[in-house]
Chains A and B, each alone.
Chain A
Amino acid sequence: MSELVIDVNNLTKKFNDFTAVDSISFYVKKGEIFGFLGANGAGKTTAMRMLTGLSKPTSGQALVLGLDVNSSADRIKKGIGYMSQKFSLYNDLTVKENIRFYGGIYGLSRAQIKSKTEEILEELSLKDVAKKLVSELPLGWKQRLSFAVAMVHDPAVVFLDEPTGGVDPHVRRQFWETIYEQASRGKTIFVTTHYMDEAEYCDRLSIMVDGKIGAMGTPGELKEHYSTDTMDDVFLKLVR
């Protein structure tokens, strides 16, 4: 059995009376692309925020990289990357400055930052706009840069919250190529999405319904279980 990167047991988050995440349990293996699906407001982002240490679980246990999110949040943070739903690079910094800043606060050395910057600019073909403010980039480029910055410190696992929201199909494809490439290097990808074609690209999926996990398995298993041809139908059957 391969190593578990994320291991969640009965994880719950309540906001006053409202239970956003209701005792969910799942695991993610090393190198997997794990799709985390669900309707708007089903609790995906809340669950992800607990795993990244941004939100404190009300009860239950979650291990990320073998460490408890309750007690070792800071140690976990060294080993994870996070790309939020909201674009969160600095618009008033250039591409290069953003990479340097995040590399810097993750504690990379000057030389590491330099080589990492070269690498990112090369891979995303952003060399020409390296000195441009991030606000001037088109959305698709911004999203790819966000992903690259989330990976700047070589985390073992990266959390992507709707990374392709609002970008065109071409950039989405490019984005998923990058995700595959990272997975092939042994990185674990934890991704939420509303695009069912993207769900098909995932190794395994879970679909959240009202704070609970409604279904879990490979895309093939899920389609078989709900006896439909497309992930769209699986999703609709579950959510309804």
Chain B
Amino acid sequence: MKIIGYLIQKEFIQILRNKAILPMMTILPIIQLIVLSNAASNEVKNINLVIVDQDFSEYSRLLTSKVNSNERFTLKLATNNQNEAMEAIQANEADIILTIPAKFERDFLKAQSPALQILVNAINGQQATVGAGYLTNIIGSFNQDISSEIIRIPEGPRIGSISLESRNWYNPEIEYSHFMAPGILAELTALLTIVLSAMNVVRERELGTIEQINVTPIQKWQFILGKLVPFLCVGLVLLTVGLIASKLIFDIPMLGNLGILFGYAVINLIAVLGLGLLISNFADTQQQAIFVAFFFILIFVLMCGLFTPIDSMPKWAQILTIPNPLAHFISVSRKVLMKGGGLLDIRKEIIYTIFLAIIFNSLAIWSYKKQS
């Protein structure tokens, strides 16, 4: 045990003397948090709309102004020429074309159910679906408005209609940053620690100091533990800095017990560090280590549920997220911070992560060769 103490002490001295690590732990995550949480938004706020009005009726004008008054839509062009509208979408100036056909009002009043056409530029799938959804909603309510205006006949009991009212739980105002910041924080913490740990051992190999350690009677698990503990602390400092920054800047909710979040972070960081150390055992140079680390980082980030919900991935991809410690970290940080989740709510993540921690670290110890 005493031997590990000396290893940890040495590592801490080196970390604190390293001029690159301190800013990496403090300034970089804050910048990333600010930039990413604001920029990496899936919200569809600005949809460029073209309205092709071939009816020139009261209703068509009413619909146009109704759509136009919605702040998410910008009316780029109002025309009666379908070709002109198509050109706008070709030129990428428009996202959606709404065509109001001739005789729209007349058919409507005759109860002949006229059809409107929505053409969506689906290059950006998300923008398309969400935008079309908004537009459909607006048209639906327009439909109701004019219907109730016309049909005044039933004087007896009014026919009940179902109305939906949705409330957004856990993030009532749908603040995107409340949703992104905890995820990005988890991502940053995991990524920095994986890179630091992967690079560290390889650096010792490059410098040749690892050989001096390998001629000592030190045990493999002692060496790995001596690397793990200091970087675990670095990760926790980073998480703390990030949490404080997110609270101050975005006022993110912190409903759950922060102790649970940190407790889980410890397990998660141990898993991630184990992977970093494992990578470093297979790399001879820092360059190799960073390439391999990048391979994992890319997969982890794109499949962690930060940008695309895991639930909407195909089944096989969902299974692939199980060995992704980042996915669990993000899920836990959202559950704890936004939903106020307790230990029971995150038990699945805890179990998976403990497994990952054991597997990665056992492999790291096993693959660390004191002898060539």
Q: Using CB atoms and an 8 Å cutoff, list the residues of chain A in contact with chain B.
A: 49, 52-56, 73-75, 77-78, 80-82, 84, 86-93, 97, 100-102, 104-107
Contact = CB atoms under 8 A, between A and B. Distances in A.
Given A101-B9, A105-B218, 20 more contacts: A53-B370, A54-B211, A54-B370, A55-B372, A56-B371, A77-B217, A78-B217, A86-B208, A88-B209, A89-B209, A92-B18, A93-B10, A93-B13, A93-B14, A102-B212, A104-B6, A104-B7, A104-B9, A106-B217, A107-B2
A86 B372 CA distance: 17
Contacts of A93: 10, 13-14
B17 interface: yes
A88 B210 CA distance: 8
Nearest to A133: B17
B13 A54 contact: no
Contacts of A81: 215
B207 interface: yes
B371 A104 contact: no
Given A92-B18, A104-B3, A74 B217 contact: yes
22 contacts: A53-B215, A53-B371, A54-B211, A54-B214, A54-B370, A54-B371, A78-B217, A80-B215, A81-B215, A84-B208, A84-B211, A87-B208, A88-B207, A88-B212, A90-B10, A90-B14, A101-B9, A102-B216, A104-B2, A104-B3, A106-B217, A107-B217
A150 to B, nearest CB: 8
Contacts of B2: 104, 107
Interface string B195-225: 0000000000001110111111111000000
B17 A86 contact: no
Contacts of A92: 13-14, 17-18
Given A90-B14, A92-B14, A105 B211 contact: no
B323 interface: no
Contacts of B217: 74-75, 77-78, 106-107
A105 B7 contact: yes
Most chain A Cβ neighbours within 10 Å, of B14, B215, B371: B215
B6 A86 contact: no
B5 A104 contact: yes
B214 to A, nearest CB: 6
Contacts of A84: 208, 211-212
B25 to A, nearest CB: 17
Contacts of A105: 3, 6-7, 213, 216, 218
Nearest to A100: B6
Contact of A88 (B208, B218, B371): B208
A106 B215 CA distance: 10
Contacts of B372: 49, 54-56
Nearest to A56: B371
B10 to A, nearest CB: 5
A105 B214 CA distance: 11
A198 B14 CA distance: 37
A52 B212 CA distance: 11
Given A55-B372, A56-B371, A93-B14, A77 B3 contact: no
A53 B370 CA distance: 8
A92 B203 CA distance: 13
A53 B214 CA distance: 8
Nearest to B372: A55
Among B7, B18, B211, residue most surrounded by chain A Cβ atoms (within 10 Å): B211
